[in-house]
Structure 1
Amino acid sequence: MEICKHNDYCGGCIHQGIPYEKQVEMKGREVLKLLTDKKIVCKNNLGIVGSPKQYAYRNKMEYTFGDMVKDGEMTLGMHQKGRFMSIVTVDECQLVDPDFNLILRETLDFCNEKGYRFYHKKSHEGLMRNLIIRKGERTNELLINIVTSSQEEFAEEAFVERMQSLELSNELVGILRTLNDGLSDAVYCDELKTLWGRDSYMEKIMGLDFKVSAFSFFQTNIEAVERLYTDALSLIEDVEGKTVFDLFCGTGTITQALALRAKLAIGVELVEEAVEAAKVNAQLNGLDNCKFIAGDVFAVLDNIEEKPDVIVVDPPRVGIQNKALDKIIAYGVKQIVYVSCNPKTLAMNLEYLQFYGYEVKSLKAYDNFPMTKHTECVCLLER
């Protein structure tokens, strides 16, 4: 595929133009260097594997309204590299399904025709804030969420008609409007309105069904993450009859996959909405041997009566704080499976765990986000 036409400004895909095999090699070397720098002894380094899809793999995009140059025409897309106030219209992005590009272009045209203004970060005035598109990779269901302030009227019915008139390859199942009057740049939901259809889409992963709502976290590259999770769970010895903790569990994908075989799977997650979504999905899949607890892992571990036989951790990019690691270590489980989305903080955590008597049995890296800087890893530790 040719170099993306947005490459000079967008900056999302830092490895554009580099042959894919080379990208994967580079990322593998980066992971190895981080481990070597922290003197991590790995019994079995399984290298790195590439993504099943190099293009059109993202199932969610959050676009921002703005302008490219001061007082220029309104744009819709991503922040320009090195210039936070400038927004690049990315209507030919190669990382998303072509339907995303169609919806983006049509939404921008609609808003410009109506004369709507974008919400200005400094003056805090204007209507249009964000466009969020989500897709079920296995179900081909699409969800559109337009984010506005409440400062002006927005033609909801006309917008719905315009979106429904598009000739899409996927099935549009819901059109939503989020009202956000927060001052920060982040998407915050003061009110969520369903303008048409449903407020969620369905996804299938690891043989399980997931209902994904407008703001619930879900893995971005489904094909790649399914392989990663399958590999991670295969590392656990004889999970049948065991109690497993899944810490930083998000919407509980791993927890539920564990529950298919374990005696009991307990997921712990800070974000309450994610926990509520996890409970709904567990019910959807008829799983009564998994439970979910909302709260900070450090605090929650003090109050769980059950004792784990195995612990799975899948922390955010900042990794796991040492005080939480101390509690994990104190359980004295034979096996810990660490799923990481940031090799740098993984190496720091492994250094700590290694010092306290865990050895790294195996480590495998995954390029689940081709063209970008991100790399994921799965690591098995044994006491």
Structure 2
Amino acid sequence: MRCHYFEAGRCRSCTELAVPYPQQLDAKVRAVQDLVRAPGLTWLDPVPSRERRFRNKAKMVVGGTVAHPLLGIQAPFAGAGVVNDLRHCPLHEEAVEAALPILADFVRTAALTPYDVPTRRGELKHVLVTASPDGELMVRLVLRSREAEARVRKHLPGLLAALPSLAVVSLNILPAHAAVLEGAQEIVLHGDTLTMRVNDLPLHLRPRSFFQTNTEVAAALYRAATSWLTERAPATLWDLYCGVGGFALHAARALPRLAVEGVEVSAEAIASATRTAQELDLASARFVAGDATTLVPATGPVPDVVVVNPPRRGIGPDLAAWLEQSGVGTVLYSSCNARSLAADLAAMPSLRPVRAQVLDMFPQTAHYEVLTLLER
């Protein structure tokens, strides 16, 4: 894949762009297999991705001026506050790219002053856009304060007319001068949820909920996990770090008698998962907001299967120790970091990896997802 931003030196986020895609995928598989080893472990063929137009979300830093806003990234080596405009990044899905010029126009119309990092002045820090498989959009404007809220509300009807695919519009308030993407306060102005239809399952995404960046590969991940679980026909399942319920809801739909409990620290994600379960009449699927590390050991009888999908740091020593001594017979571990996965596996020697598969969620980078089946 060629990218004029990369070739001009305006963006280096795609660190592997110069490497032919088949070689990228081979390198990821080798890197994961070097870290995750076990006697008798079967590696399935990796799941490739489209090389371009696979990102369902854009996380754009805002720079420039009200009259000439820039949507992109901090310019490497150019000093704080310098933003390179990347609104035509070839990784973004078409619906995302098409929305960015309209959102730049809205910055001008609503007089949203881009935040300037060196002077710590201005209001608009980031524009976050997510596209559903149906072409609907969620747009979140990350502001320093609520100063611009009235102007955004005033001009919102015009934005909805210009971008009729908008399902959700919100303001996120990030007062701190910090290298983070969003703050704790969310003000929803339009809609409430973006429906991510994955394998014909309506997963609901609220503004502060996490969803995988690559919808097609996420769908393949859920299909693989569901297939592996169906082979074992468990009666009970816990989905830890469940997000909006992707693993749990796929399993509950495939196995109608399966009792499912999902645990996730985000209350918004739990509300989304619960909504899908209610819409599909999956009465045996229950979702709870809480920290899996502290909540799970006190939950009661252990299930037949535990699914874990932690952040890059992994599940950590406490949860790994509990799983090791719990007696759980099967663990399905979805990881975006084979180093933390390997550390967690070393802390659970009674749970042996028997099957694994690399799924290329992030082409043009060294990142990936790996799904591993563990049996006691």
Q: TM-score, normalised to structure 1's length?
A: 0.86
Counterparts in 2 of 1:322 and 1:199: CA distance versus 1, 3 Å: same
Q: Which amino acid aligns with 2:28?
A: K
**Residue number in structure 2 paired with 1:101:** 97
2:51 to 51, 54, 79: 54
Q: 2:269 aligns with which of 261, 271, 274?
A: 274
Contact 2:314-2:341 within 8 A present in 1 as well? yes
C-alpha distance 245-181 of structure 1, shift in aligned 2 (>3 A): same
Counterpart selection for 1:135 from 128, 131, 135: 131
Q: Show CA shifts across 1:194-219 (max 9, x none).
A: 1xx52322121233212222222122
What is aligned with 1:165? 162
Show the counterpart of 1:349. 344
1:124 pairs with 113, 120, 127, which one? 120
Alpha-carbon distance in structure 2 between the residues aligned to 1:63 and 1:318: 25
Contact 1:255-1:266 at 8 Å conserved across structures: yes
Which residue does 1:16 correspond to in 2?
17
Q: Distance in 1 between matches of 2:316 and 2:31?
A: 23
1:48 maps to amino acid: P
The one-letter code sitting in structure 2 at the alignment partner of 1:341 is C
Q: State the Cα deviation string for residues 302-356 of structure 1 (Å, max 9, x = none).
A: 3212321111111111101111111112221222111111122112212222xx3
CA deviations on 1:280-312 (whole Å, 9 max, x unpaired) are 221122111011122221211232123211111
Contact 2:239 2:261 in 1 (8 A): yes
Match 2:333 to one of 326, 330, 338? 338
Tell me the residue number matched to 2:240.
Answer: 247
Contact 2:73 2:86 in 1 (8 A): yes
Preserved contact between residue 248 and residue 270 of structure 1 (Cα < 8 Å): yes
User: Residues of 2 paired with 1:55 and 1:370: CA distance?
Assistant: 8
State the one-letter code of the partner of 1:23.
Answer: Q
Aligned-residue identity in percent: 26
The amino acid of 2:22's aligned partner reads: E
Shift of 1:147: 2.8
Q: How many residue pairs are counted as aligned between the two chains?
A: 368
Task: Compare 118-127 and 72-81 and name the one that shifted more.
Answer: 72-81
Letter in 2 for 1:59: N
Which residue type is aligned with residue 107 of structure 1? L
1:203 has 2:196 as partner:
yes
In 2: Cα distance, 1:104 partner to 1:188 partner:
22
Structure 1 runs not aligned, ≥5 long: none
In structure 2, what is the equivalent of residue 235 of structure 1?
Answer: 228
Q: Which of 369, 374, 377 is equivalent to 2:370?
A: 377
Structure 1 distance, partners of 2:170, 2:291, is: 31
Deviation at 1:178, TM superposition (A): 3.6
**Is residue 11–residue 80 contact of structure 1 (8 Å, CA) maintained in 2?**
no
What residue ranges of structure 2 are gaps of 5+ in the alignment?
none
Question: Per the alignment, in what secondary structure is the counterpart of residue 349 of structure 1?
Answer: helix
Distance in 1 (CA, whole Å) between partners of 2:87 and 2:27 is 29
C-alpha contact 2:24 2:366 (8 A) present in aligned 1: no
Give the whole-Å Cα distance in 2 for the aligned partners of 1:146 and 1:11.
25
- Compute the displacement of 1:371 (Å): 1.2
Q: Give the match's secondary structure for 2:347.
A: helix
CA distance in 2, matches of 1:147, 1:85: 16
Q: CA RMSD in A?
A: 2.6
1:45 aligns with 2:46: no
AA at the equivalent of 1:127: E
Query: In the superposition, relative to structure 1, how do residues 4 and 345 fare at CA in structure 2: closer, same or farther (>3 Å)?
Result: farther
Structure 2 Cα separation of the partners of residues 100 and 237 of structure 1: 35
Contact 1:4/1:94 (<8 A) preserved: no
Stretch deviating more after TM superposition (271-280 or 176-185):
176-185
Q: How far apart in 1 are the matches of 2:205 and 2:217? A: 18
Shift of 1:241: 5.4
For residue 48 of structure 1, give the secondary structure of its aligned residue in structure 2. coil
Q: Distance in 2 between matches of 1:217 and 1:224?
A: 15
Distance 1:229 1:98, change over 3 A: closer
2:175 alignment partner AA: D
